[in-house]
């Protein structure tokens, strides 16, 4: 390796093989209880839990460790109302034609439509932004690398952290999402990447059959 500053790895934990097997099975059993939920309770969720989950997301690997992401955690009813109004406006255009027949057909088993009441009722919306320019320090304006991959991984960490904390989430990608930049007052360098809805499930929360069908190990993997 080229010369660089480094510290010894001092927080790695090695488990006995039997425990590794148990932990990998337990992780699978736990993560398979994660579902995209569209019925949220308005029960409050303390800010500190969301902060911890965002801190967890911030540990994700990224191109050159530039961490090209910004998370806007929205709790304000007024801001949530603006997000709902704009998202529903765009979604109406989508469902009333822009999507096209094939896309609408693909969404039919999920039962989705342009109404997004959870954007106002859920305690937290987390708008995730990607940054084209940046660096190790927030003031840096260097090129960022593998921005989509990096922000995608961080979003995965965030969903996992929220699930592990005992919350349910929905990944929402209204199209176009640029209204989020305006509402959240984000700079030109950033693009809205995804909107996560987080909170407790409503009592009548359900999981569409279509969404709980997962491909088998054989279908999704090849071992060489
Ligand atoms: N953004 C729309 C449509 C939608 C698109 C996909 I791909 C989904 O997996 C689910 C929904 C909406 O949120 O309704």
Q: Where do the domains of the chain lie?
A: 38-203
112 lines ligand 1 (CB under 6 A): yes
- Residue 2 is predicted with a pLDDT of 94
- Residue 1 is predicted with a pLDDT of 92
- Residue 23 is predicted with a pLDDT of 98
- Residue 175 is predicted with a pLDDT of 82
List, edge to edge, every strand of the sheet that includes 190-199.
Answer: 69-74, 124-131, 190-199, 168-172
Angle subtended at Cα 26 by Cα 62 and Cα 156, rounded to the nearest 5 degrees: 25
CA distance 150 to 96: 33
The CATH class of the 38-203 domain is alpha beta
143 lines ligand 1 (CB under 6 A): no
Q: Return the residue whose CA atom lies nearest to atom 13 of ligand 1.
A: 172
Ligand 1 atom nearest 112 alpha carbon: 14
105 lines ligand 1 (CB under 6 A): no
60 lines ligand 1 (CB under 6 A): no
- Residue 85 is predicted with a pLDDT of 98
104 lines ligand 1 (CB under 6 A): no
Top mutation candidate among 173, 175, 195, 197 for ligand 1, by most atoms within 8 Å of CB: 173
106 lines ligand 1 (CB under 6 A): no
Residues of the chain with pLDDT under 50: none
Residue pair 179/19 in contact by the 8 Å Cβ criterion? no
CA of 179 relative to ligand 1 center, distance in Å:
17
Coarse DSSP helix, strand, coil percentages of the chain, rounded to the nearest 5 percent: 45, 15, 40
**What sign does the dihedral 99-101-106-112 (CA atoms) show?**
positive
CA distance 157 to 194: 14
178 lines ligand 1 (CB under 6 A): no
**What sign does the dihedral 92-95-96-97 (CA atoms) show?**
positive
Q: Kindly tell me the burial class for residue 223, based on how many C-beta atoms sit within 10 Å of its own C-beta (0-12, 13-18, 19 or more).
A: exposed
């Amino acid at each position: 390796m080229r010369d660089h500053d480094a510290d010894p790895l001092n927080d790695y934990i090695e488990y006995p093989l039997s425990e590794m097997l148990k932990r990998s099975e337990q992780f699978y059993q736990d993560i398979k209880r994660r579902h995209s939920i569209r019925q949220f309770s308005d029960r409050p969720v303390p800010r500190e839990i969301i902060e911890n989950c965002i801190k967890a997301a911030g540990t994700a690997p990224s191109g050159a460790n530039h961490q090209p992401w910004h998370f806007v955690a929205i709790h304000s009813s007024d801001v949530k109302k603006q997000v709902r109004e704009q998202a529903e406006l765009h979604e109406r255009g989508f469902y009333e034609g822009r999507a096209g027949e094939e896309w609408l057909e693909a969404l039919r088993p999920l039962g989705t439509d342009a109404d997004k009441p959870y954007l106002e009722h859920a305690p937290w919306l987390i708008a995730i932004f990607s940054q084209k320019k940046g660096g190790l320090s927030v003031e840096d304006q260097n090129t960022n690398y593998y921005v989509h991959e990096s922000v995608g991984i961080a979003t995965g960490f965030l969903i996992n952290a929220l699930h592990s904390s005992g919350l349910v989430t929905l990944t929402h990608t209204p199209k176009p999402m640029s209204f989020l930049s305006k509402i959240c007052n984000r700079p030109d360098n950033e693009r809205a990447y995804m909107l996560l809805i987080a909170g407790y499930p409503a009592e009548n929360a359900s999981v569409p059959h279509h969404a709980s069908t997962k491909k088998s190990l054989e279908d999704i993997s090849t071992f060489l």
